[in-house]
């Protein structure tokens, strides 16, 4: 039995022998990619300095100066660092506590992320508004559908290690963390020169499309035996350096249009959680209010120890948000005071705060339960 007792109750007191997640399986994009894209023919990689400048392994493929939210959640849940699915080490006993399938540039829609281009053989991440080479788009990544298919491969490996009856219990007590959707806006709907989605769908219809596709894959994982799901909402994309850099003349304010798009998706995702909880007895689905938590950090930056809220610690252009960190570039020295690491991603200091709120936050952070409470169900 691969179950380790949790020692924290819902009230935060030490309680030995409480139930714990048997494993954690993570699905997502560059916000939680631990290095899956390192093994793909992709430009969307972060396996070079200055990425990982504060990470114990150095540049691992994480799009941060250090740890991701998934790394911090693992620490809080007493789960070892999850191996990347594509890593040669994601075999045998190394996968018993879980696997991370997140892939930079991946989205809920299979076509999302195709707007990446390769130029001069440099591992530089360009987006459509920054650079365009004809009509050729290069960039392998795992869409949500492919990530779910990759989990099925992991499940076949687990069947060789765990007896069927025990496997059923193992899967029912495993945690699924899904954090997708950002790229479906940044690298799809908001890129009309590459995609027709903004012409074909109203903002409301597009949110519905994403939720419908998302639901298919959530239920596909559920049909395989997984029962505990945490679905993270999209953060305030209108406030990231990349979006701030698009406003002319510069205003320093978040892009309302972008945040409104995200809000439509998040509202539908929270409603989906309620629907799934009502329909599937014996399962638990929870929604993470990433948007609200991140806005709280932005609006109360000084209280959290941050002094720089509107630009990346590394990057090029306005707000250091037009081109992301170049290889061997020099990042800011006071990284713990920055909310954003680069044009799109937060620093590990922010990731740690978000992980704590996912783990033991209030009902405004997690609906209907946080992970600490979910572990006891």
How many other CB atoms are there within 10 angstroms of residue 36's CB atom? 30
Residue 277 CA to residue 225 CA, distance in Å, equals 16
pLDDT at 127 over 90: no
Concerning whether 345 is annotated as a catalytic residue, the answer is: yes
Top-level class of domain 6-237+252-298+352-374: alpha beta
Instruction: Give 19 or 111, the one with higher predicted confidence.
Output: 111
Which among 30, 103, 143, 286 is annotated as catalytic? 30
Q: Encode pLDDT of 277-298 as tens digits.
A: 999 999 999 999 999 999 999 9
Instruction: Give 118 or 155, the one with higher predicted confidence.
Output: 155
**Worst-scoring range by mean pLDDT, 63-77, 137-151, 163-177, 315-329?**
137-151
Banded model confidence at residue 116, pLDDT cuts 50, 70, 90? low
Residues 6+ apart with CB under 8 A from 297: 304, 306, 339, 350, 353
What is the reported pLDDT for 58?
A: 97
Report the mean per-residue pLDDT for the chain.
Answer: 90
Banded model confidence at residue 128, pLDDT cuts 50, 70, 90? very low
What is the reported pLDDT for 19?
A: 58
Residue 198 CA to residue 187 CA, distance in Å, equals 12
What are the DSSP calls for 54-105, one per residue?
TSTTSS-S-SSSS--HHHHHHHHTT-PPPPBTTSTT-SGGGGTTEEE---TT
Banded model confidence at residue 126, pLDDT cuts 50, 70, 90? very low
Domain locations in the chain as residue ranges: 6-237+252-298+352-374
Concerning whether 30 is annotated as a catalytic residue, the answer is: yes
What is the reported pLDDT for 42?
A: 87
Strands in 98-100's sheet, in edge-to-edge order, are 98-100, 24-28, 175-179, 228-232, 284-288, 366-367
Which among 345, 359, 365, 367 is annotated as catalytic? 345
Residue identified by tokens 């020295």 is: 333
Q: Which of 28, 35, 374 is nearest to 226 (CA)?
A: 374
pLDDT at 374 over 90: yes
Which among 197, 342, 359, 367 is annotated as catalytic? 342
What are the DSSP calls for 192-254, one per residue?
TTT-SHHHHS-HHHHHHHHHHHHHHHHHHHHHTT--EEEEEPP--GGGSHHHHTT-SS---S-
pTM of this prediction? 0.90
């Amino acid at each position: 039995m691969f179950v380790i007792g949790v020692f924290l109750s819902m009230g935060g007191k030490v309680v030995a022998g409480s139930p714990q997640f048997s494993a954690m399986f993570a699905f997502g994009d560059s916000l939680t990619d631990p290095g899956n894209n390192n093994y793909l023919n992709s430009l969307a990689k972060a396996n070079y300095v200055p990425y990982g400048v504060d990470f114990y392994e150095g540049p691992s493929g994480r799009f941060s100066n250090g740890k991701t939210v998934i790394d911090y959640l693992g620490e809080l849940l007493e789960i070892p660092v999850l191996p990347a699915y594509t890593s040669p080490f994601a075999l045998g006993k190394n996968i018993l506590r879980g696997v991370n399938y997140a892939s930079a540039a991946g989205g809920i829609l299979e076509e999302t992320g195709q707007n990446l281009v390769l130029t001069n053989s440099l591992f530089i991440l360009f987006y459509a508004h920054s650079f365009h080479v004809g009509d050729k788009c290069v960039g392998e990544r795992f869409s949500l559908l492919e990530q779910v298919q990759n989990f099925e491969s992991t499940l076949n490996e687990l069947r060789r290690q765990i007896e069927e009856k025990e496997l059923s219990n193992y899967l029912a007590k495993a945690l699924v963390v899904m954090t997708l959707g950002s790229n479906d806006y940044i690298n799809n709907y908001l890129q009309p020169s590459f995609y027709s989605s903004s012409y074909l769908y109203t903002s409301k219809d597009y949110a519905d499309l994403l939720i419908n596709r998302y639901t298919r894959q959530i239920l596909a994982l559920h049909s395989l035996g997984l029962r505990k799901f945490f679905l993270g909402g999209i953060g305030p994309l209108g406030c990231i350096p990349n979006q701030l850099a698009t406003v002319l003349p510069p205003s320093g304010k978040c892009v309302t249009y972008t945040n409104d798009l995200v809000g439509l998706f998040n509202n539908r995702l929270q409603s989906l959680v309620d629907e799934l909880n009502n329909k599937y007895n014996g399962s638990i689905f929870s929604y993470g209010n990433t948007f609200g938590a991140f806005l709280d950090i932005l609006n109360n930056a000084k209280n959290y120890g941050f002094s720089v809220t509107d630009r990346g610690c590394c990057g090029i252009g306005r707000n250091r948000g037009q081109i992301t960190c170049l290889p061997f570039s020099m990042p800011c020295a006071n990284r713990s005071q920055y909310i954003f690491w680069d044009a799109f991603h937060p620093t590990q200091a922010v990731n740690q705060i978000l992980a704590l709120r996912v783990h033991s936050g209030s009902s405004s952070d997690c609906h209907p339960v946080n992970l600490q409470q979910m572990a006891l169900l």
